[in-house]
């Protein structure tokens, strides 16, 4: 008999618990639904601060990456072409241009009303082979005139911002030996900016480079800005690429750099942001950088998924960086990520091929990561 009472009592408690449990759950769902709708997407949340951009690859431009396109529409309001406007692709032979993908890229920017970046006019890397055969400064100037007039002229009023010169500096802040520098010295920088400004006076003009938080290189970038301004030439922006890692550069170095470029009279854009979570070969004590690390488990520690602790570290790093960007939003024009999602990042293949990296805000399935939430949380 006692057993039956106990059983009935337990049943009664279970029914009560189930009823209350359900009610609580329903209430939560209803109140979530009743919340005033918050703006969705990074671009909406950051619309009063700076553009939020992404580098786009061939698959996206050719509309083969439909999930990537969806993300582009909801999250970003600026695009940069990852490769297709580089010299070797757009101007592969003397007087020979290939505008098929660049036209599709510009069309994408117009259709989605995106702040559209041109990357890049003058760069020693991914240059067409024929340019290295140019004989003297006169010929070089003619070649640069043709290149810049043709490309900037074609997209006048459609490309909003040009990376006019890319990566002209060495780490010590002096100019890199390239075909441009060898034939024309520092003059080639002036030609490039002058030609771009003439071809589209309305376009924003940028000097773009990596490691621009390093004091010596930063000084080099500032002297380029000064050189151009002293000659009365137009330069609007210094583009800090932002290929960073979990520890460096420090927030102090980033902040000092933003302030220094602002003081030099230009805006700052973060043009190629990504944060690697993998080890660099050159950080290994005693490692030969030339050593082949492909296939090394030590150098590719997260082939399946990123551990929660590192996911959090990445989210915190992104949050503190964006907090700093917001603090200096009056000096920052645009923050562009170098890719849409982890799967398409160049960092899966550099500096070691075939690794699994996690440097962006969206995962391989195009889902927002903790890092995305931490960047958005700053605005809510």
**Min CB(276)–ligand G3I separation in Å:** 11
Of positions 82, 313, 363, 370, contacts ligand G3I by CB under 6 A: 82
127, 109, 130: which is closest to 51 by C-alpha? 109
Among 97, 181, 346, 366, binds ligand G3I (CB under 6 A): 346
Give the whole-angstrom CA distance, residue 344 versus residue 121.
24
Among 241, 311, 336, 344, binds ligand G3I (CB under 6 A): 241
Residue 201 DSSP symbol: T
CB of 378 to ligand G3I, least distance (A): 26
Q: Nearest distance from residue 350's CB to ligand G3I, in Å?
A: 6
Residue found by looking up tokens 């969806």 in the block:
70
Neighbours of 276 (CB within 10 A): 19
Told to check if 245 binds ligand G3I by CB under 6 A, we report no
Single out the residue of 126, 138, 292, 305 in contact with ligand G3I (rule: CB under 6 A): 126
Catalytic one among 82, 167, 272, 313? 272
Shortest Cβ 33–ligand G3I spacing (Å)? 41
Interface with ligand G3I, residue 160, by CB under 6 A? no
When binding is defined by CB under 6 A, the residue of 18, 66, 100, 125 that contacts ligand G3I is: 125
The answer to whether 272 is a known catalytic residue is yes
DSSP at 170:
-
Indicate the helix (H) or strand (E) that contains 182.
helix 179-184
Measured distance CA(93)–CA(163) in Å, rounded: 21
3-state SS, one letter per residue, for 32-97: HHHCCCCCCCHHHHCCCCCEEEEEECHHHHCCCCHHHHHHHHHHCCEEEECCCCCHHHHCCECCEC
Q: Which residue of 160, 200, 236, 272 would you call a contact of ligand G3I, by CB under 6 A?
A: 272
> Cα–Cα distance between 227 and 235 in angstroms, integer?
10
Which residue number has the CB closest to ligand G3I?
346
Residues at the interface with ligand G3I (CB under 6 A)? 82-83, 125-126, 166, 241, 272, 346
């Amino acid at each position: 008999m006692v057993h039956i009472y106990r059983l009935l009592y337990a049943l009664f408690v279970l029914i009560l618990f189930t009823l209350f449990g359900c009610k609580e759950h329903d209430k939560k769902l209803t109140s979530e639904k009743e919340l005033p709708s918050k703006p969705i997407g990074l671009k909406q949340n950051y619309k009063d601060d700076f553009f939020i951009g992404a580098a786009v690859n061939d698959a996206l431009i050719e509309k083969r990456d439909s999930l990537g396109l969806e993300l582009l529409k909801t999250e970003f309001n600026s695009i940069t072409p990852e490769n297709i406007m580089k010299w070797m692709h757009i101007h592969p032979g003397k007087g020979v241009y290939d505008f098929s993908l660049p036209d599709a890229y510009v069309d994408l920017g117009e259709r989605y009303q995106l702040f559209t970046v041109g990357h890049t006019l003058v760069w020693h890397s991914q240059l067409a082979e024929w340019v290295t055969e140019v004989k003297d400064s006169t010929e070089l100037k003619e070649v640069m005139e043709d290149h810049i007039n043709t490309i900037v002229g074609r997209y006048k009023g459609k490309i909003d911002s040009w990376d006019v010169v890319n990566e002209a500096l060495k780490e010590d802040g002096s100019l890199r030996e390239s075909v441009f520098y060898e034939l024309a010295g520092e003059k080639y920088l002036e030609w490039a900016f002058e030609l771009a400004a003439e071809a589209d006076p309305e376009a924003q003009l940028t000097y773009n480079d990596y490691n621009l938080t390093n004091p010596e290189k930063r000084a080099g970038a500032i002297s380029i800005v000064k050189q151009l301004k002293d000659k009365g030439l137009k330069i609007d922006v210094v583009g800090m690429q932002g290929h960073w890692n979990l520890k460096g550069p420090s927030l102090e170095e980033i902040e000092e750099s933003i302030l220094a470029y602002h003081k030099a009279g230009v805006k700052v854009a973060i043009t190629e942001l990504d944060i690697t979570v993998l080890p660099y070969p050159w950080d290994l004590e005693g490692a030969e950088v030339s050593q082949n690390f492909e296939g090394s488990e030590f150098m590719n520690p997260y082939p399946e998924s990123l551990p929660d602790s590192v996911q959090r570290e990445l989210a915190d790093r992104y949050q503190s960086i964006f907090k700093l960007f917001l603090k200096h939003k009056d000096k920052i024009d645009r923050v562009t990520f170098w890719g849409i999602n982890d799967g398409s990042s160049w960092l899966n293949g550099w500096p070691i091929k075939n690794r699994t990296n996690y440097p962006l805000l969206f995962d391989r399935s195009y889902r927002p990561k903790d890092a995305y939430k931490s960047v958005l949380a700053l605005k809510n």
